[in-house]
Amino acid sequence: MAAPVRRSTKFIKPPKKHGPNISVDEIWSKLSVNIVEILNHRAELLSYEENYRYAYNLVLYRAGDTLYKGACKLIAENLDKLAEQDIKSVFPSGSSDNAIQQSQESELLLKAVRKVWDDFTTSLLRLRDILRYMDRVYTTSARVPETWDTGLLIFLEHIIRPPFQGHIIAAILNQIQTEREGFDINRSAVKGCVDVLLSLEERNGDMTIYKRDLEPEILRESEAFYKAEGEKLLETCGAPEYLQRVESRFDSEESRTHHYLSSQTDAPLRRILEQHLLSPHLPSILHKLHSGLDFMIDGDKLDDLSRLYRLFIMVPEGLPLLKKALRESVIRRGTEINASSTGTDITSQKANEDEDLSSKAKGKGKARPPVTLATQTLQIALKWVQDVLDLKDKFDIIWSRSFKENRDIEATLNEAFGSFINLNAKSPEFISLFIDDHLKKGLKGKSELEVDLVLDKTITVFRFISDKDIFETHYKKHLSKRLLFNRSVSDDAERGMLAKLKVECGTQFTQRMEGMFHDMKISSETMEAYRKHSEQAQNLNIELSVIIQTSTFWPTMGHQTPCVFPELLIKASKSFEQFYLSRHTGRRLTWQPWLGSAEVRTAFNSGKTHVLNVSTLAMVILLLFEDLDGSEFLTYEDIKSATDIEDTELQRQLQSLACAKYKILKKHPPSREISTQDSFSFNAEFSSPLHNIKISTIASKVENADERKETKDRVEEERRYSMDACIVRIMKDRKHMTHNDLVNEVTRQLTGRFLPNPLDIKKRIEGLIEREYLERCEDRKSYNYVA
Amino acid sequence: MATEQNGATQSSDDWVRLISADGYKYFVKRKIVLVSPTLRSMLDASSNFAEAASNTCRVNERGAVLEKLLEYLSFKFLYENASLNEDIPDFQERIAPEIALELLTAADYYDS
C-alpha cells in the first residue's frame, strides 16, 4: 500500500484536471460517435467509464447545452431512420379490400411500431446511464427534462405524428373491429402498441397520448358499431338470444379493455354499450312477440330471466320498465285466473240462479245436479286459490332465482298480486274455502308438513286481501261448521292456522275464533260433568251431547227455523237445561237443532241394525215414523204440522232421507224433487253392507243470493262499528283534529282489516256528531271530542 | 474490507475488479461497489457496456483515493440501514487532509 508515502507529504495537492486537456468540440465529437454506436446497439465495445467521463467533462466545462442539444439531435435522427426503415415499409397498402389482408397489414404495422419502441427504449436506457451526470447537474439548472423524458418527447414528435399516427390508430381500430366481427387477432400486437401510447405523455399536462388520440376514436367507432349492431340484432333474433348476445358483447368488451386496451376506457365503453344496446331497446325486448318477458316467464326460463335482470339493472331506466312489465304480466295472468273462475260461475248461474256461490262439498259422489253444482263451485274456488298459489310460486321462484331477490321487484310483484286478487270480490271467501278444504280433509292424502306448507302459502295470498274482515266472516262460518260437525281433522292444524292468522292480523282478528275453540273445550267439560250428574239422576234412553256457543263468538248460521221436539228430546233437553242453569245462573240457553246431528240405531227387515248418522232435524222426522207400521204413510203436511220445520229446510231434509243414496224413507210418488203433495213411508227393506251410514244433508250449505246479501250486510254493519270505534278512539286521544287528518288516521288504522271509503268515514263522523260524541269546530274543517 | 492487490480469490460473480489510474487492483464485493450509482450503471448487465462484460472497472483515480472511496462505500453499506440508537463512528476522522480535495471530486463523480 502507498500509505506511508501519503503521510510523509505534508502539503495538499491540488486536484488534477480530469481527462486530457482537449477542447469541448473534440470531446463532443468523440462522444457523439459513441452515442450513435449506442443507439445502434453496439455498446459492448464501449467503455462506460470513458463515455461517462466525456459527458462529465462536457458538463464540467459548461458545455452541457451542446451535450443536451447534440444528444437530442442524434436521438431524433436515429428515430427518423428507424421509422423510415421499419414502419414505412409496412404501411398498409390501402389498395386491398380484403378484410383479412387489411387485418394482417394492421397487425404488421402495430408490431413494427412496437419493435421501434423497444429498440428505442433500450438504447435510451443506456444513453441515460451515460448521461447520468448531465441529468444530475445540468438538466435541473437548465430547466430541460431529463434524458429519459426528453427521449420520450422526441419519440412523440417523430413517430406519433402524421402520417404515422393516423395509420397506427387506424390499425388499432381495424384490429378491434376485426375481433368484434368474430375473428381472432393477435392481441399482444395490439397491446404492445397501446402500451406505447399509454406510456407517452403530452409535453404539458398529464394526458396520455392514448387518452388524447386513441380513446376518442375507439369510442366513436364503438358507438357507430353498436348502434347498428343493436338494431340489427333486434330485428333478427328473439329476446333471449338478443340478451345473450348483448351479454357476451359486454363480456368481450370488458376483456378487451382488460387485455389490450386501458382499464380507463372500460367505463365509457360500457356506457356506450348500455346506451346503444340496452336503453333504447328495453321496451322492445320486454314485449317481443313469442320471446319477450311473458314468454320467458311462461317457459320458466330462469337463466334467460336472470340475464335479463342483470342487463336491465345496468341502466337506470331498466328496473322501472321491468317492474312495469312484470306488473302487467302478473295482473294479466291474475285476471285470467279471475276470469276463469267467474266464467264458470256465469254458466252455473244460468243453470241455477240461486247457486252462484260455492259450498262445502258435502255430498261428493252424489249424482244430484245441485250437489254437483255446489261441488263444482267449490272446485272453482279451490282451483282459483290453487292457481293463485301456483302463480305466486312461479313468480317467487323467478324472483329468488333470477331477480336476486330484488326488494323493489318484490314490492311490485306483491302490489300486482294484491291488485288482481282484490279485483275478485270473492277472493276472501275462496281463500277461506281453500283453507277449509285443507283442514277438513287435507290431512288424508298429505302429511301434516305438506298441509302446513300449503297453508303457509295461503297466508301469503291472504296477505294481499284488503277486505280482511270479509275473510274473517267466512272463515268463522267455515270454522264453526268444522267444529260443530267435528270435521276438522286435527285440532293442532286448526290452532296452527289460527296462530298464523294471529301473526298476520293481531289478536283482535282471531279473538272470536279463539273464543270458539274455548267454547268447544268448556262444552266437553260441561258434558263430562252432566254425564256424571245424569247417571245419578234419571236415566234417559238417549245420549245427549251439547255444545254451548257464546253467541258473540259464533256466527249465526242457517235459517233459524223453529222445530218442535218430540217428547223424548224435550225431556233430555230440559234435563240438560236444568243442569246447566243450576251451574251458571243468569244465562239463557237457546237450542239450535239445525246445527246438530244425531245417531239413530234402526232395525230393518233384513235383520240388520244400522246406525244412521243424520242431522238433528232429520232425526226429528225419523222419530215420527217410529211408532208407525211399515205400510203407513205420512203426508208432507203431516210432517210439517208435527215438526213445524220451515218448508225449504223440511224439503231439504226429506230429500236427503228419501231421494239420496241411502233411501231410508220411501217417497210416493218416487221422484227426485220433493213437492208438498208427496207422502212418505219408512223403507223397511233398506239394506246396506255398511254398519254405520252417514246421511248428509243435501246442498244445504250453498250460500245463495240472500245469504250473500246477509253476509254482506253483516260485514257492512261490522265495518260501521269498527269505524265508529276507531274514530272515537282517535278523537279521545287527540281531542281536536282536522277532517282530513282524521280520515287519514282512520284509514291508516283500519287498512289491516279493510279499506274504508272516505265517504263512509264522513258519514260515520256525521253520525257521531249527531250522537254528540264529537262537535264541529267553527272553521268547519275540524272536530272536537266531546267528553 | 477486502482489498487485495493480487487476485487471490478467483472472481466469482460476487466480486468485481477495480483498477486505479496508477495500476492498483482491488477486488471488492459487488454489493459494496453497487452503492455508488455511477458504478452501478457502469456494471449494469442490461446496458452491457464493456465494464459490465469484463466485470472490471478502470477508475481514473490514484490508488490512495480509490481505496478511501471504497472504504467509504463499505462504510456506507454497513451503516446505511443502521437503527437510530446504533453508534455510528465519524468517517471524517479517517480522511487524510492531503487527499481530501481529490476525494471530493471523486465523490461527485461517483455520486456517493
3-class secondary structure, A144? coil
Positive or negative: CA dihedral A641, A643, A649, A653? negative
**So what's the pLDDT on residue A348?**
41
With CB atoms and an 8 Å threshold, state whether B98 touches A132. no
Over residues A328-341, the mean pLDDT reads 83
Domain count along chain B: 1
Tell me the nearest-neighbour CA distance from B85 into chain A, angstroms.
Answer: 33
Q: What is the mean pLDDT of residues A23-40?
A: 81
Query: For residue B71, what are the domain limits?
Result: 10-109
B4 domain residue, yes or no: no
**Range of A317-326, A539-548, A607-616 with top mean pLDDT:** A317-326
Q: Does B91 touch chain A (CB under 8 A)?
A: no
User: Is residue A632 predicted with pLDDT exceeding 60?
Assistant: yes
Nearest to A580, CA basis, from A518, A520, A519, A523: A523
Q: Average the pLDDT over A472-482 and give the result.
A: 79
What is the structure's pLDDT at A536? 62
Asked if the model's pLDDT at residue A468 lies above 70, the reply is yes
Residue B5 lies in a domain: no
User: Does A90 have pLDDT greater than 80?
Assistant: no
- Tell me what pLDDT residue A362 has: 35
Candidates A427, A397, A204, A216; CA nearest to A335 is A427
Does any domain span residue B102?
Answer: yes
Q: What is the mean pLDDT of chain A?
A: 77
Asked if this assembly's ipTM is beyond 0.85, the reply is no
What distance in Å separates the CA atoms of residue A265 and residue A121, rounded to the nearest whole number?
26
Minimal CA separation from A131 to chain B, in Å? 10
- Residue A538 confidence (pLDDT): 57
Q: What is the mean pLDDT of residues A652-672?
A: 75
In a domain, B37, yes or no: yes
Task: Report CB contact under 8 Å: B51, A7.
Answer: no
Chain B environment of A131 (Cβ under 8 Å): none
Q: Which of A118, A126, A117 is nearest to A158 (CA)?
A: A117
Sheet containing A597-603: order of strands: A597-603, A609-615, A692-694
The beta strands (E) that lie in A283-440 are given as none
For residue A697, pLDDT over 50 is answered with yes
Surface of A (7-66) touching B: CB under 8 A: 7, 9-16, 18-19, 43-49, 52-53, 56
| CATH number for the domain that contains residue B91 | 3.30.710.10
- What the block records as the C-alpha cell of A713 is 250486510
Q: pTM of the prediction?
A: 0.65
In this prediction, the residues of chain B whose per-residue pLDDT falls under 70 are: 1-13, 47, 112
What is the predicted pLDDT for the residue at A9?
A: 44
Nearest CB to B38: which of A44, A52, A126?
A52
Chain B contacts of A132, Cβ < 8 Å? 37-38, 41, 111
Strand, helix or coil at A737?
strand
pLDDT per residue as tens digits for the range A536-593: 655 556 677 777 777 777 776 555 566 777 777 777 777 788 788 887 777 777 777 7
| A334: confidence class by pLDDT, cuts 50, 70, 90 | confident
Q: Which of A5-19, A363-377, A471-485 has the highest mean pLDDT?
A: A471-485
Least confident interval from A84-93, A186-195, B32-41, B67-76:
A84-93
- Judged by average pLDDT, the poorest of A1-10, A368-377, A454-463, A617-626 is A1-10
**Does residue A16 have a pLDDT over 60?**
no
Q: Which residues of chain B are within 8 Å of residue A9 when distances are taken between CB atoms?
A: 98
- Distance (Å) of CA A5 to CA A601, A703, B16, B59, B64: 146, 132, 27, 21, 10
3-state secondary structure A208-271: EHHHHHHHHHHHHHHHHHHHHHHHHHHHHCCHHHHHHHHHHHHHHHHHHHHHCCCHHHHHHHHH
Say whether residue A721 is in contact with chain B using an 8 A CB cutoff. Answer: no
- CA torsion, ordered B10, B13, B18, B19, to nearest 10 deg: 50
- Assess A295–B contact: CB distance below 8 Å, yes or no: no
- More confident site: A230 or A632: A230
Q: Does B23 touch chain A (CB under 8 A)?
A: no
Q: How confident is the model at residue A630 (pLDDT cuts 50, 70, 90)?
A: low
In this structure, the number of other CB atoms found within 10 A of the CB of residue A611 comes to: 13
B27 assigned to some structural domain:
yes
Residue A163: asked if its preceding bond is cis (omega within 30°), the reply is: yes
Most confident of A43-47, A303-307, A688-692: A303-307
Residue of A nearest to B59 (CA): A49
> Rounded distance, CA A686 to CA A676, Å?
24
